[in-house]
Structure formats: C-alpha cells, structure tokens
Amino acid sequence: MLIPTFLKHKNKLKSQIKVTLGALLCSSMLVSNANAWSEHSLITYPILNTMPEVAQQAPIKVETLAEFVTAEAHGLETLLATNEDWLRQNFPYYKPRPDALAFDAAGQDLLTSFIHAIRINPNARINPYIQLLPGQDKQGRRRLDASEVAVFTNLDNYNKMTFVEVKSGDLVTPIEVLVSANDDPDNGLDIGLFADSNTDAGKLYGFGNQAFGNPALEYSTQAPFHMGFYHESSVLFTLAPFLRDTFPDYRVHMYKALSEYAFSTGHDYWGWRFMGWGLHYVGDIAQSYHATLQPGVSTVSSLWTNAKDMMGFPQAKIDAIQLLSNRHLVLEAFQAIITKQAYENNDFSSALFKALTQETAVL
C-alpha cells in the first residue's frame, strides 16, 4: 500500500503546485498587462542605432503581407513544410502544427492559409505602420487609431503611443520597420490561440489548452508565447511539467526562417519585419520575470512555501505572490519612466542608455 499512498500524495502535490505556480504566473501577467512591457522599441532603438548594418541601410519599399505571400507562394509552401519538419525533430516539447493547416500555394485565400500555417491570431493588425518614438515627428503621415494596431479591448496604454500609416510602395528606413515590428507580437499576434481560448483559431491550431494563466483574460492568453522557463530545476519540471508548454523558442526560429527567406527573395520590408517579430521574444526572455518563475528564489524555498500552504499556513504563499508582483511592477515602471523621459528630454546620458549603446563582450 506504500506505493499507491505515495502516488496519491504525489498527485495531490502536483495539483497543489500547479495552483501555486499558476497564481504566481497570473500575478506576473497582470503586472505586464497593467504596465505594458510592450514598448520594446524604447530599448531596441538605441541598440540598433549603433549598428551600421541596420542604421545605415538605404530606404526600402513597403509591401503588404498579402503581396509578399502571393508573390512567394510556392517558395513559402516549401519553406514552411521544411521548417515544420525541423521543429518536430529538434524541439522535444513542440506542439506540431496540424497537417491540415499546411500552407497551400494553390489555395484560393493565400493570406489566410499563411496566417493559419504560422499560427498567429487571424484578427491581428498586420497592415504596414510605423511606431514613433516619444517626441518623433509624424512627417505629415496620418496618425493611426490604436485599434488599427492592437486587438485589445482596453487600449489605454496604446493611446499614449503614436502610430502612423504607411502604404504599399512608400519608402521607409529598415530601422523604422525593425523597431516598430519589434512590438508587433505584443499587439495581438499571440492572442486567443489555445483550445480553451473560445476562438476559432484556438480550436484549429493544435496548441492544446493554455498551460497557465486565465484563458478568459485576453492579454493572459499570449503569456505562454512570451514566457519561457528553460532553466528551472529538474525537480520543478517533474512536479510542474506544464512549465515546459511555452513557445518563444518556436516563434524565434520560425520568424528567423521567414526573415531569411524574405531577404533572399528581394522582399526586404518583410525581411526586416519578420526579424522584428522574432527579436520581440528574445527581448522578452531577457526580462527576468519572463524567464524565471521566481527570480532570486530557490527551488527549495518555493517548494517549502507550497508545503506550508498545503499544511494550512497560506501566508507565505500570499506574501510570495505579492512580492513577485511588486518587484515586477517596479522594474517595468522604472524602465518605462526613465526611458520615456530620456526621449522626451533628448537626454541619453543615463546609465541605461550607456549600457545599451556601448558594446560589451559576452564571456
């Protein structure tokens, strides 16, 4: 009877840990929603502007996604099929794309087929635009409404940003495209893609149920694409295997492949824009609260907090959730305040901007 009893308690422990970790993750996601770790452009522009291979590139012609997909349908069919095979063979926790969603170059609606094949939100706003930095001039271009860029019901944060329209054939600089596209994934590309998201796309895409977070909250549904816990302890992964159900690595690899293909076929606008999409997830994983469940807290401490909760002493868990939320909020609020003030005051002498613009050797 010892083994069945152990299994019974182990299953109970796993269930309780999922509840605890789910609460911690919800705490982080609500902070991100409230304070919008979405203006990646504020951080990426200073870095990219120091790179001649980006900043000194000649202007390029804008192209819609439909134009790109139509022009390259047969090549994209091969590329996406090859990429899917590679992902299945090399990503052990990958959720395979359903075969029925393979891109079909002979299909009637190529744009929809492509959107389904790369499994992004069909309602995402993917028309060309430029996201301006604070204080940057519109140069006579029409300011877009936030709803023309982002899908969310609450657009308060987006209404504080400035987006301008560009059209097919217009000339734009690669750095403008790259910096703007770097925010695209936070504007709705990854919203509502799970089986329990109550969306048509979620039922089609094969990602299964959302591993953590509240599928009823629209912003929460993107979390498993923007958070990746690749370096937690094996004990934690054993007790909470759902932590492996994250997808930033998949997104980075897919957009890298698409970017390289677009450049190789002369579609530079989409080469830069796909590159920006991929860079978004790299930036997310550079944020400690997107890459570590509880930054600065050991696995033993996390398990002990959970054990005390199971024994009827929940205060440690309540305190841990509040502390995680507070630290996450302070980090993002501080980053947003100092960067926006620097742009508005044209003052780039702060330690943050020096760190972003000075090349540092990676050991």
List the one residue out of 131, 193, 127 whose CA is nearest residue 157: 131
Give the pLDDT of residue 75: 98
Give the pLDDT of residue 22: 55
Nearest-10 Cα torsion for 138, 174, 228, 319: -30
At 132, which helix (H) or strand (E)?
A: strand 129-132
Q: Which two tokens stand for residue 119?
A: 């499994």
In sequence order, what are the residues at sequence separation of 6 or more whose Cβ sits closer than 8 angstroms to the Cβ of residue 363? none
In sequence order, what are the residues at sequence separation of 6 or more whose Cβ sits closer than 8 angstroms to the Cβ of residue 95? 206, 207, 208, 245, 247
Q: Which alpha helices (H) appear in 265-314, and where do they start and end?
A: 268-285, 288-291, 299-310
Give the pLDDT of residue 12: 53
Strand pairing partners for 334? none
- What burial class does residue 70 get, using C-beta atoms within 10 Å of its C-beta: 0-12 exposed, 13-18 middle, 19+ buried? middle
At 165, which helix (H) or strand (E)?
A: strand 162-165
Give the pTM: 0.86
d(CA 68, CA 273): 12
Q: Which two tokens stand for residue 176?
A: 């403008």
For 143, the 3-state DSSP assignment is strand
At 163, which helix (H) or strand (E)?
A: strand 162-165
d(CA 118, CA 177): 20
- Give the sign of the dihedral formed by CA 31, CA 33, CA 34, CA 40: positive
| Residue pLDDT tens, the chain, 363 long | 444 443 344 455 455 555 555 555 555 554 444 444 458 898 899 999 999 999 999 999 999 999 999 999 999 999 999 999 999 999 999 999 999 999 999 999 999 999 999 999 999 999 999 999 988 899 999 999 999 999 999 898 899 899 999 999 999 999 999 999 999 999 999 999 999 999 999 999 999 999 877 787 788 889 899 988 888 888 777 877 888 899 999 999 999 999 999 999 999 999 999 999 999 999 988 888 787 877 777 777 777 676 776 677 778 777 777 777 778 778 877 888 888 888 888 888 877 788 888 877 766
